Chain A
């Protein structure tokens, strides 16, 4: 742990949830805080009001180099890339970089469980939080999801537990690791920002690179990339797997979720106690078991949490049933991979709403599955042409090979609201209408949560 003195002068880039938390944190401790955001004051009025009680200086509309004069610490909010010229200049001048997760973890008195991965982070984080709570710990859940924990620091005690979701963007800048780290899986993601898989993996690895021998690292055994990382672990390695009986960690034995530690097997729960759909969620629960156990959860606590956890918003979340049609909000599916996992969770015929903004990711497998499993495909958003092309190709290939094709129609809905209207017209009783975009929401919304909320609103407005 580095010495956690407050720097005299801090510059924060980006005024969103994380930026505000950092601003408040440092301002309250007497540092001279400057916040810079590329948006103008008019767009930020809500945020500015929140920080009105603090002596924070603002430089809006641009990131001038003069910000760095006298700056001792440069903090980046979530959406800000370390590649922008200002950050590069800061590196040249030897100014340290940081973010809210780093600043928090450096000072947190309670053990931190940090979780990252290409998919399953949020569900696993939420579930681990529930498990620890049910085991009797006062638990704080945050990080990438919910609110930044930085402002709760003064309330956190040594006997508490903290569970944080960490994105590869946050990890990129960090040089401190949580005492219990979870690396669930690594698949191509965020390649628009990280540029290569190597860079993406290197960023994710920061979660384990700074651990010590007393720490625990939980790795996904079923994913080749994370399994191979065991060779670089500084702490103790435990695995979770839905397919193999691992030596140390948690796994699926028939219908039972079992935990194995130092040669002892303990039954934690049965598979049918899980209230979430899909095999990927079984893996998430197994990961949560391994992580929570490493943080001190009791078996009873884990069992109770599993039995009562119905999932996280916008993740395969049931929105409504009308006229025999089930509407599902899976707005968090911001990569084609996630959609593939979602499709596997349903037996019913599907009306899929897909689109958004692409992150330079491969759509091949998505297209294949869609052709096999989806009855009607309605595209919306920026990525519509791109997806349409892939699906057309997959359709032709499937036809040529003689594979079973479920797809009857593919059409462009324009925007999401229109797509919802089309879906309500085309869905038949017994269908599932699934919003699982495969792309990000940034082409038309603030984030996936807003997209999901709008979706719910429009579905409700369809009336009956």
Chain B
């Protein structure tokens, strides 16, 4: 693992550039998709992007060790929000005279980022104990499990799935025992499969999906329309704004199906550009993760990158029929305030980590304060011998 000097202090410019390109392409695609559903959407999205960008700039300049300290309270708040949503329904967060009238916050989306932060802090504090099932894997499973269940209770299976996946990958990255992870994955897949079979709506989708490989007429409606859009686009596409399938054929072209709109209008080339942009994003993100000596920072970077990339991968997989439809958004493209802000804040975190290990008086004070908090975070014992603080 290569190690940069910890005090480079400069953000990863290529990452910023890639994200700007992705967001710009996203606005273009949303603008086109908005023809079919209403002008408000792309206009509001610009607003969300502005808010998110501001937040990102802020977060970039906050020394990232702060997040480890507030991880627990943040998680607590998120779990409460999820619980409220489960009890009182989605509408409780929406249509208030809040930031933007008629929009709503989605706690599930927020939960993904907060859990990444919390898991990163928790894993970083575990150190060598990561391989002990009792103090590591089990409590980890409980944390993720509770959050996932709350998310699933809102019928948001895909977010729960991504949450668990990201968590497991972070566990692995932190140095978890591959054998434990393997067994967890097996148990999880069986368990998750059982859950999916039990719940009627997911069972139907799963059954249809499996059947669609041999019988194309059984393809889920959204996927069938997506295929039509993709094939209509060909290699170079119909031209930006000139797609026809978004008008009354492709469901929700401004959210879940936006990739199909891109496929129709920008063709195969457009799709490859999108994939390429995400690939570069992944490269820079994982590079930051691998080159940061600080465990917490490295885990944050890994977690955020995985969070974004896995969501993109899932959305695209659904669009091309490789996964049963689950209702995930394409990050930075799909219309959605919470998602956009969360993802941009994630970018801010990545950039903050890339700036390197914070130094200075402010940071010394934080370090001292942190040493007192660490024990409370997870009951972890101080690792013997390693004098380095987090």
Q: Which residues of A contact B (CB under 8 A)?
A: 216, 230-233, 236-238, 245, 247-249, 261-263
Contact = CB atoms under 8 A, between A and B. Distances in A.
Interface of B: 35-38, 221-222, 244, 247-249, 251
B221 A231 contact: yes
Contacts of B37: 247
Given A231-B221, A232-B221, A263 B36 contact: yes
Given A232-B221, A262-B35, A248 B247 contact: yes
Contacts of B247: 236, 247-248, 261-263
Contacts, number: 31
B44 to A, nearest CB: 14
A237 B250 CA distance: 9
Contacts of A263: 35-36, 247
22 contacts: A216-B248, A230-B251, A231-B221, A231-B222, A231-B251, A232-B221, A236-B247, A236-B248, A237-B248, A237-B249, A238-B248, A245-B38, A247-B37, A247-B38, A247-B247, A247-B248, A248-B36, A248-B247, A261-B247, A262-B244, A263-B35, A263-B36
Nearest to B254: A247
Contact of A247 (B36, B221, B244): B36
Nearest to B221: A231
B120 to A, nearest CB: 40
A261 B221 CA distance: 22
Contacts of A249: 248
Contacts of A236: 247-249
A218 to B, nearest CB: 10
A254 to B, nearest CB: 15
B286 to A, nearest CB: 38
Nearest to B39: A263
A233, A245, A247 interface centre (most CB from chain B within 10 Å): A247
The 10 closest A-B pairs by CB, nearest first: A263-B35, A247-B37, A236-B248, A237-B248, A248-B248, A231-B221, A247-B36, A248-B247, A262-B247, A238-B248
A171 to B, nearest CB: 21
A245 B247 CA distance: 14
A233 B36 CA distance: 17
A249 B37 CA distance: 10
A370 B244 CA distance: 48
Contacts of B244: 262
Nearest to A239: B248
Contacts of A247: 36-38, 247-248
A51 B247 CA distance: 49
A459 B221 CA distance: 54
Contacts of A245: 38
A231 B225 CA distance: 10
Contacts of B249: 236-237
A236 B247 CA distance: 8
A232 B249 CA distance: 10
A289 B35 CA distance: 20
A261 B37 CA distance: 10
Nearest to A237: B248
Contacts of A233: 221
Contacts of B221: 231-233
Nearest to A260: B38
A287 to B, nearest CB: 15
A168 B147 CA distance: 47
Contacts of A232: 221
B42 to A, nearest CB: 12
Nearest to B32: A263
Contacts of A262: 35-36, 244, 247
A230 B37 CA distance: 15
Given A216-B248, A231-B221, A231-B222, 9 more contacts: A233-B221, A245-B38, A247-B247, A248-B36, A248-B247, A248-B248, A261-B247, A262-B244, A263-B36
A233 B249 CA distance: 8
A230 B251 CA distance: 9
A238 B248 CA distance: 6
A262 B245 CA distance: 10
A238 B36 CA distance: 11
A194 B181 CA distance: 55
Contacts of A237: 248-249
Nearest to B244: A262
A242 B272 CA distance: 42
B204 to A, nearest CB: 12
A237 B34 CA distance: 16
B55 to A, nearest CB: 30
Nearest to A236: B248
Nearest to A216: B248
A65 B35 CA distance: 59
A261 B246 CA distance: 11
A33 B39 CA distance: 59
Contacts of B251: 230-231
Contacts of B222: 231
A231 B37 CA distance: 16
A146 B251 CA distance: 38
Contacts of A238: 248
Nearest to B252: A247
